[in-house]
Amino acid sequence: MSAPPVDRHFALRKLHSLLGIVPIGFYLCFHLFENSLAAKGGDYFFVHVIEKIDSMPYLTFLEIFFIAVPILFHAIYGVIIWLQGKSNVLQYGYFRNWMYWVQRMSGLVAFAFILTHVWSTRFQVLSGAATKEGLFDLLAGQLSNPLVLIGYIIGILAAVIHLSNGIWLALITWGITIGPRSQKISSGVCAVIGVILLILSAQALRGFLAAGA
């Protein structure tokens, strides 16, 4: 007896949700924690962490295949899911219907923010316009511009909302939280995760703004 055919869209959707947490979600958490160290002592802790990361073997390979490629797949397939789905938020204004819309919009904003952030930091180092040791001062200078600061606040908020709500959705997609009670509990846990990440983000911005003042 042959095995039943695999629903390719179902499999890709599960992969999409998984990549949103591992490695993308973990990287976002680490990146916000890394940048929050700016509030502890300016560029000392920040540069120290960068030096530790640079000492990792196969760093370029890891950045491409465990960060860049998953983010691109997650973003592109997320748009496909959005185009295939339908939001009934205007007809039925339930909380989760609104969160469906928020999840899609926050994903678009977060992806645009990531591209802008990478261009203004990582690509500046690759092009020789800046050094890794000078990234702290570069970011501090950029954030001294009120418009750039507002853009970072919106982008970080979108990324945190997308991740915390995405974890809640991924738990359902993978059949971990099936009943209403488990989904309510996971909703609270994901909200706590979001608050913690926002606190780390505020610490990071505070550190950079203090240095750029």
Q: Which domains does the chain have, with CATH numbers?
A: 8-212 (1.20.1300.10)
Contact 161, 101 (CB under 8 A): no
The whole-number pLDDT of residue 86 equals 61
How far is 47 from 42, CA to CA, in rounded Å?
9
How far is 15 from 11, CA to CA, in rounded Å?
6
The residue assigned the tokens 């502890």 is: 40
The whole-number pLDDT of residue 101 equals 84
Strands of 2-147 (E only): list them: none
DSSP 18-49: HHHHTTHHHHHHHHHHHHHTHHHHTHHHHHHH
The whole-number pLDDT of residue 213 equals 66
The whole-number pLDDT of residue 89 equals 46
Q: What is the mean pLDDT of residues 19-39?
A: 92
How far is 196 from 203, CA to CA, in rounded Å?
11
pLDDT tens readout for residues 76-110: 999 998 888 765 544 545 666 777 888 999 999 99
DSSP label of 149:
H
Contact 128, 121 (CB under 8 A): no
The CA radius of gyration of the chain, in Å to the nearest whole number, is: 19
Instruction: Record the tokens describing residue 75, joined without a space.
Output: 């973003």
3-state secondary structure at position 127: coil
pTM above 0.85?
Answer: yes
pLDDT tens readout for residues 103-147: 999 999 999 999 999 999 989 988 999 888 888 899 999 999 999
Contact 103, 165 (CB under 8 A): yes
Evaluate if residue 6 carries a pLDDT over 70.
no
Instruction: Record the tokens describing residue 89, joined without a space.
Output: 């938020």
Q: What is the mean pLDDT of residues 159-170?
A: 95
Cis? peptide before 57, omega within 30° of 0? no
Evaluate if residue 19 carries a pLDDT over 60.
yes
How far is 29 from 1, CA to CA, in rounded Å?
46
Per-residue pLDDT band at 9 (split at 50, 70, 90): confident
pLDDT tens readout for residues 33-73: 988 988 876 676 777 778 888 888 899 999 999 999 999 99
Instruction: Record the tokens describing residue 107, joined without a space.
Output: 């994903």
Helix (H) and strand (E) counts for the chain? 11, 0
